[in-house]
Amino acid sequence: MVIHKAVIPAAGLGTRFLPATKSTPKEMLPIVDKPAIQYVVEEAVAAGLNDVLMITGRSKRTLADHFDAAPELEATLEAKGDLARLELVRASTDLADVHYVRQGQPKGLGHAVLCAKHHIGNEAFAVLLGDDLIDARDPLLPDMLKLQERTGGSVIALLEVEPDQINPYGCAAAVPLEGGGLDEVRITGLVEKPDAADAPSNLAIIGRYVLNPAVFGVLETTGPGRGGEIQLTDALATLAGMPAEQGGGVYGVVFRGRRYDTGDRLDYLKAVVRIAADRPDLGPDFRNWLAEFVPSLHT
């Protein structure tokens, strides 16, 4: 069965980005002139996932409004004949079939994914974290979808980090996948945010998953883990040890492209600078300015 549903958890508190995220979800922060979440929905649609379920919490309105029609704004732009901006406004409305469910309390990423159970039913689906931005020029999801189709299990995305940088991430113990490609692995164990000394590898879990629906049954019996939150990583560790007939087996794709954690202030700034510098409209002027500004930092 072809996977066509994506879940985007966007109900976290975003405490690393306060006070900006006091009343605005971090997923709505602009990367140049487009909210981070729109890049994520565009990535899902580009991979054939047109049915998008957003897990929202407080301040759901701004997220839902962004993917809804804006009749007054559209009428004003139309009256002015500003067709280019009208097209930009309508692009997010027409992008995908977007649904919403509220998480109630932010009890963790695993709990957020469990909120999607009724919408997803008994089919495999993708999860894209709303604050994790994969550069559109380095597509990752298509490889993950293919690996899920081949194995029938669940697939996670992995990034090689410096060993002392593993602590903010979930970490995977992995072996090469028999008969698999160079960047494909089989997961033998997972641990959430380990200290560098206890980490089983330097493979960090990043915010893209393609999951077998067996994950819901596992999440229902997964208690609070690290930080008192229901962790998706803990449920995946259980799935990795389950037989294939029960929907078990977890695999990984090692990602080597450009990726930004837009919920982290420094990574957010890097994303804005890189994407602005590459934009055909703003890039030339911005790069000229950067070329003057950067040397002045060293004087």
Residues that bind ligand UTP (CB under 6 A): 9-16, 55, 103, 106-109, 111-112, 129-131, 263
Of residues 270 and 279, the one with the C-beta less far from ligand UTP: 270
Shortest-Cβ-distance residue relative to ligand UTP: 12
Cα(11)–Cα(93) distance, integer angstroms: 21
Instruction: Tell which residue, 158, 183, 162, has the closest CA to residue 172.
Output: 158
Of residues 227 and 280, the one with the C-beta less far from ligand UTP: 227
Record the tokens describing residue 24, joined without a space.
Answer: 């605005």
Question: Three-state DSSP class for 271?
Answer: helix
Of residues 92 and 231, the one with the C-beta less far from ligand UTP: 231
Q: What is the closest distance, in whole angstroms, from the C-beta atom of residue 248 to ligand UTP in the complex?
A: 24
Of residues 108 and 249, the one with the C-beta less far from ligand UTP: 108
Cα(275)–Cα(136) distance, integer angstroms: 10
Residue 14: C-alpha distances to residues 27, 35, 67, 70 (Å): 9, 15, 21, 27
| Residue 124 neighbours by CB under 8 Å, 6+ apart | 1, 3, 148, 210, 211, 212, 213
Strand segments, DSSP code E, in 65-118 are 97-102
Of residues 112 and 214, the one with the C-beta less far from ligand UTP: 112
Q: What is the closest distance, in whole angstroms, from the C-beta atom of residue 55 to ligand UTP in the complex?
A: 5
- C-beta of residue 51 within 8 angstroms of C-beta of residue 96: yes
- C-beta of residue 46 within 8 angstroms of C-beta of residue 139: yes
Of residues 44 and 109, the one with the C-beta less far from ligand UTP: 109
Of residues 132 and 184, the one with the C-beta less far from ligand UTP: 132
Q: What is the closest distance, in whole angstroms, from the C-beta atom of residue 106 to ligand UTP in the complex?
A: 3
Q: What is the closest distance, in whole angstroms, from the C-beta atom of residue 31 to ligand UTP in the complex?
A: 15
Residue 264: C-alpha distances to residues 15, 132, 146 (Å): 10, 10, 30
Q: Any idea what DSSP says for residue 59?
A: B
